[in-house]
Amino acid sequence: MLDHAAIMELRTRDDTSWSERDAMLYALGVGMGADPMDGNELPFVYERGLKALPTFAIVPTFAGGPLFRIGLDTRYLLHGEQAVTLHRPMPASGTGTVEGRMVGAWDKGAGKGAVFAQEKILRLDGDPEPLATVVTTAFGRAEGGFGGPTEGQPAPHRVPDRAPDRSVDVPTMPSQALLYRHSGDLNPLHADPEAARVAGFPRPILHGLCTYAITARAVLAACCDFQPERMLHHQARFSAPVFPGETITVDLWVDGDAVSFQARVKARDVVVVRNGLSRLRKEAIR
């Protein structure tokens, strides 16, 4: 049986490093550079004047962490929400440390699952100030009834009740998941047709973190003039999988420095990301 107090005391500390090659591979994995003549996207996939996507902070913080020390049944574990906060622009290469802690564990009741949230703070070597904070929320379908609190989980962001101000269509490639997995998530669900069938899908699905980054791409293109230093925060809740090769439509609601969003696959009439929120810096750093 899981112990709530023990879960909340979990702490981890891991060394990490990343290179310009990692930053470019990540950008390619989320679809940047599909048109090699696009001068807006080229700086994310080409070493001359290289820029790192804000959501690239997920890559050097991906491994380790307290979430997988709890003893959850990973066969029934679903990625629920993701958030990245950039305290400063993400560099394309670096070395640092990642400090992890649990920030929440909520019991939905026997047979109803439980929600677990971990926070990871990335710091560059020699710098005491955080570079990025990454929060991952997971839904454990098998853990309901473990005795944790039933209330207190943060409410999801609500998108405005009006037509979106802008919509951005982002095609994905049939091989998108095979490329994205080289940024760290090697789960066979995204590559092996048999593993996908066992999990209940007709074919491999796109990584949720790839879909998440695609929504950030849409915000960068529509609201930031492709200036990654303007994105301060990006959060989203996953609601359905995307199959590689599908086109993702990202609907955006712009209210000052807050951009609400959701994403859908029009071909299947399904919403794949809900309750999205980006917070932006009004001007680029000079």
Active site residues: 185, 190
Three-class DSSP category at 198: helix
Name the one residue in this structure whose structure tokens are 């609201």. 223
d(CA 222, CA 55): 16
pLDDT at 283: 72
Three-class DSSP category at 248: strand
Let me know if the fold of 4-140 is the same as that of 166-280.
Answer: yes
Three-class DSSP category at 217: helix
- CB burial of residue 174 (10 Å; 0-12, 13-18, 19+): exposed
pLDDT at 286: 44
Virtual torsion, Cα 200, 190, 232, 54, nearest 10 deg: -170
d(CA 94, CA 184): 17
| DSSP, res 21 | H
pLDDT at 76: 86
pLDDT at 284: 60
- Is residue 176 a contact partner of residue 243, using CB atoms and an 8 Å limit? no
Sign of the four-CA dihedral 68, 71, 77, 81: negative
Neighbours of 131 (CB within 10 A): 20
Domains of the chain: which residue ranges?
4-140, 166-280
CATH class of 4-140: alpha beta
pLDDT at 1: 80
Give this prediction's pTM: 0.95
pLDDT at 140: 93
d(CA 98, CA 35): 34
CATH of domain 166-280: 3.10.129.10
pLDDT at 75: 83
pLDDT at 74: 84
pLDDT at 282: 81
Q: Which residues of the chain have pLDDT under 70?
A: 284-286
